[in-house]
Structure 1
Amino acid sequence: MSANRPVRLTVVRTEQLAPSMRRIVLGGDDFDVFAARVEALPQRYTDLYVKLVFLADGFDYPEPLDLDVVKQTMPQEAWPTLRTYTISGVDEQQRLVTIDFVVHGDEGVAGPWAAGAQPGDTIHLRGPNGGYAPDPAADWHLFVGDEAGLPAIAASIGALDDDATAVAFIEVDGPADELDLDGPAGLELHWLHRGDAAAGTTTLLDDAVRAMPWREGRVQAFVHGESALLKSVRPYVLRDRGVDRRDVSVSAYWRRGTTEEGFRAWKSQQTDAVIRPST
């Protein structure tokens, strides 16, 4: 199968992890193709992500689905809508792929789909790709993010060595949105509650990171979430704390007040918005 041909997976089960977080577990015949693509990546990334492919209603698409063919042969209104999501887990024994969705109301495309997804529903995925994995040689790890960054943070924490040291700050609506994360004994996990404030409007994460006693030794930092994090935590870590750029992964997953299309246009204009460790 061509790398640009999305795989087609089927919803096996769903789970409401928190009021604003819904888990979709996928499987099906194309799992082996997806797993092979994961194995073909340069390393086992913990911020593994895919493009979910949402087909427009009222059109007949070629099978197997090929996005290049669609764009070459079908009108623009038939072009699928793509949404980027982190893979929370790949279970090769059970042949399952897990994706956790932030669900807030009926706005957008992916969230409402996840909210209403039922076993037997199908979805196409293009990818995967990634850019980060915890370095066992780091003296300690720093994780900072909101709900959008939570799946990648959870996967990264779960991949840490048993003797690793880490500090994580995660902003959510409230106590009901906290998740049980598997991590080493040396993990300090801090949940920050925004309460009635809208996501992407607080300084909770920035304040917490700046107030934290900075540890000695080499740190590897992972800061992913709303775009405001780039303007606050990123310069503090790089400039004020002097962390090597190669040890910092900072990426905006969304921008308040914009659609994903608008967000992608904004992000493409940021010449240095994403800093990832060299691989």
Structure 2
Amino acid sequence: MSRQIFSISQCTRIEMRLLKALRALKWKDNWPAQAGFFLEEIGLESSQTFVFSSLIDAVIKADPEFYLLGPVSPFVSRDELNLLAALGNASRKAINSTEGQDITIPPVVGTLVDECGAELRKARVLMKTRSPLMNSRTVPGITSQVVSFQDDRTLRNVKVVSVHRPTPGVRRVILGGHSLKTFQTDLPAQWVKIFLPDGTAHPVGRAFTIQHFDAVKKELTFDITLHERGPMSRWALNAKPGNALQLAGPRGGFKGVSPRSWLLLAADETGLPAIASIVRQLPADLVVHIFAEIADETERPFLEVQPRVHIRWIYRNGSPTQDPETLSEVLRYSPLPATGGDAWIAAEASVIRTIRTHLLRERGFELGRVHAAGYWKRGEQDHCDLAAG
């Protein structure tokens, strides 16, 4: 087993950022949430995080002793250099060329290395070409069986128990069914994926935060923010008790705050159910600042706020006493505690990038204490952000 390490200064800037992303994907606490941002820094999109996550998962399964250091380590291991070598070769490989392909690479690992290389080429990110360090374990030398990475996608059959209208722009759906007898949630802000059965092999599915799960009645509540052309919005407008659905999960969740910290929560309508579930389980003495962007004042009942929480309502469409505002603009110019705290943010993907950069560069937040997830992306259906968990 090799434990030889080298100074990370021998890596290029692109390699350093990619390496941080690969390490973050298998690290603890909030680090997985940062991987997408590290990849974006070298020109990749957050949606491309999944193929890199699958690669790391496959490598670890193939070789559990693969030496992956921490995200902020000033060193790089021999194993990591070999992985960078494989990615560098793949990023420069002609699309239809098999030249230089090592036939000893297990199929799953080889396929994922090539897919990651294709994503790097697509973004015009060329990695350094380097030779694998053959006198130690190498990625091409892995020979153990590899099982491809799969999420838990067990589908539960459920039915609508009731539908409510807490605000004009929201439908609150309560689900029940025998399959929920084994359903469990252990963290606030966990989410499930809801599928509309349509008789096909690939039904329409969208992710929604669990607003509440009644462990006694075995009933799950989630909120749908109505959008003009979304399939779930169209369904919600006509939903009735007895309608059949399927769901998978739960996943993700809010893992708490650091000792002696304070908490910043910021979201648009898509993240408010998560904020509501987080606030319900916070310590009574914790200082909490919420920034909530909604269409107008009619949507305020969507979020029930406790008196001890400081909240700033932001109206996209304005109000009789307030001009139209946006989440990122208000947060940038609002006073916050001087000491760095913890942050949980969920909104449109580009808004999240702006806020995250502001918190890290101008507000003194530490990287591992900012959880920022793009719950949706303008112009894209069923956007998936690995940071959501």
Structure 2-normalised TM-score?
0.56
Query: Counterpart in 2 of 1:117?
Result: 239
**Using a 3 Å threshold, how does the CA distance of structure 1 residues 180 and 101 change in structure 2: closer, same or farther?**
closer
Cα offset for 1:259? 1.7
Do the aligned residues in 2 keep the contact of 1:220 with 1:247 (CA within 8 Å)? yes
Write the letter of the residue equivalent to 2:156: V
Cα offset for 1:182? 4.4
Write the letter of the residue equivalent to 1:24: V
Cα distance between partner residues in 2 of 1:274 and 1:240 = 22
Query: Counterpart in 1 of 2:197?
Result: 55
Do the aligned residues in 1 keep the contact of 2:339 with 2:364 (CA within 8 Å)? no
Cα offset for 1:275? 8.6
Cα distance between partner residues in 1 of 2:189 and 2:304 = 16
* Partner of residue 126 from structure 1, selected from 229, 236, 248: 248
Cα distance between partner residues in 2 of 1:26 and 1:157 = 23
Query: Counterpart in 2 of 1:19?
Result: 168
**Using a 3 Å threshold, how does the CA distance of structure 1 residues 136 and 185 change in structure 2: closer, same or farther?**
farther
Do the aligned residues in 1 keep the contact of 2:188 with 2:254 (CA within 8 Å)? yes
Q: Does 1:89 align with 2:231?
A: no
Cα distance between partner residues in 1 of 2:338 and 2:361 = 16
Q: Does 1:141 align with 2:263?
A: yes
Of all paired residues, the percent bearing the same amino acid is: 27
Do the aligned residues in 1 keep the contact of 2:191 with 2:252 (CA within 8 Å)? yes
Query: Counterpart in 2 of 1:78?
Result: 201
Do the aligned residues in 1 keep the contact of 2:360 with 2:366 (CA within 8 Å)? yes
Query: Counterpart in 2 of 1:46?
Result: 188
**Using a 3 Å threshold, how does the CA distance of structure 1 residues 218 and 183 change in structure 2: closer, same or farther?**
farther
Q: Does 1:274 align with 2:387?
A: yes
CA deviation vs aligned residue, 1:81-111 (integer Å, no higher than 9, x gap) = 2211111111112221000000123x12211
Query: Counterpart in 2 of 1:249?
Result: 371
Write the letter of the residue equivalent to 1:274: A
CA deviation vs aligned residue, 1:58-90 (integer Å, no higher than 9, x gap) = x3xxxxxxxxxxxxxxxxx63222211111111
Cα distance between partner residues in 2 of 1:12 and 1:109 = 20
Query: Counterpart in 2 of 1:216?
Result: 338
More helix by share: 2
- What SS is found at the alignment partner of 2:273? helix
Query: Counterpart in 1 of 2:223?
Result: 100
- What SS is found at the alignment partner of 1:148? helix
**Using a 3 Å threshold, how does the CA distance of structure 1 residues 127 and 17 change in structure 2: closer, same or farther?**
same
The unaligned stretches of length 5 or more in structure 1 are: 39-43, 60-76, 197-201, 268-272
**Using a 3 Å threshold, how does the CA distance of structure 1 residues 224 and 247 change in structure 2: closer, same or farther?**
same
- What SS is found at the alignment partner of 1:149? helix
The unaligned stretches of length 5 or more in structure 2 are: 1-150, 319-323
Higher relative contact order (CA 8 A, sep 6+): 1
Write the letter of the residue equivalent to 2:316: R
**Using a 3 Å threshold, how does the CA distance of structure 1 residues 189 and 141 change in structure 2: closer, same or farther?**
same
More strand by share: 1
Do the aligned residues in 1 keep the contact of 2:166 with 2:302 (CA within 8 Å)? no
Q: Does 1:30 align with 2:152?
A: no
Query: Counterpart in 2 of 1:174?
Result: 296
Cα distance between partner residues in 2 of 1:232 and 1:216 = 20
Do the aligned residues in 2 keep the contact of 1:53 with 1:82 (CA within 8 Å)? yes
Write the letter of the residue equivalent to 1:206: S
Cα offset for 1:217? 3.5
* Partner of residue 5 from structure 1, selected from 129, 140, 154: 154
Structure 1-normalised TM-score?
0.77
Cα distance between partner residues in 2 of 1:183 and 1:20 = 19
Cα offset for 1:8? 1.3
**Using a 3 Å threshold, how does the CA distance of structure 1 residues 256 and 138 change in structure 2: closer, same or farther?**
farther
* Partner of residue 228 from structure 1, selected from 342, 347, 350: 350
Cα RMSD over matched residues? 2.4
Cα offset for 1:204? 1.7
How many residues of Structure 1 are paired with residues of Structure 2 in the alignment?
235
- What SS is found at the alignment partner of 1:31? helix
